[in-house]
Amino acid sequence: MKISKSVEQGIYVVLMLALQKDHTPLKSQLLSQQLGVSDSYLKKILRKLVIAGLIDSSASKDGGFVLKRSVEEISLLDVGQAVEQLGTLQMPTRHLAAKLFPGRPSHIEHSEATAKAAFEKAATAFDQTLAAVPLSQLLEQNSYQNGVVDWASLAAAKD
């Protein structure tokens, strides 16, 4: 299974917001600049994170994006589901077994049911594993309660 770059970008956007000093809002342009990714692409990810209730946005002059929930409450699965609908692993049912085993309905049913059950079990394990990892585990302890990084100052220092 391959997870898209969107999920990774979503995770690190949330981490940047958690680390932002005093949790002041960050503009998408600053986020994309710091991550070295396309601003227009990142805006699509940000919108999905807002819709999922993980972050908030404000369009005012001093606005931007902030966390809506603590990184202790946001899991890898939360971001994955928001950005890419992870956790929807399902065995497609095109009934191809019937083409392989014609005239053997009980074997066809068994074959399809076995594959479907395996995918469901894998999907459950996948979801449980990601849900058990809050994003706070990706950060140094005590770095996100009040934020420790002023991303705007860092960006200005680079210029």
- Per-residue pLDDT reduced to its tens digit, 3-24: 789 999 999 999 999 999 999 9
Q: How much is the pTM?
A: 0.85
Q: Is 8 exposed, middle or buried (0-12, 13-18, 19+ CB in 10 A)?
A: middle
The beta strands (E) that lie in the chain are given as 55-58, 64-67
pLDDT grade for 130, boundaries at 50, 70 and 90: very high
Q: What is the dihedral angle through the alpha carbons of 34, 35, 38, 43, rounded to the nearest 10 degrees?
A: -90
- Closest residue by Cα to residue 52 from 79, 71, 26: 79
pLDDT tens, 19-39?
Answer: 999 999 999 999 999 999 999
Q: Give the pLDDT confidence score for residue 49 in this predicted structure.
A: 97
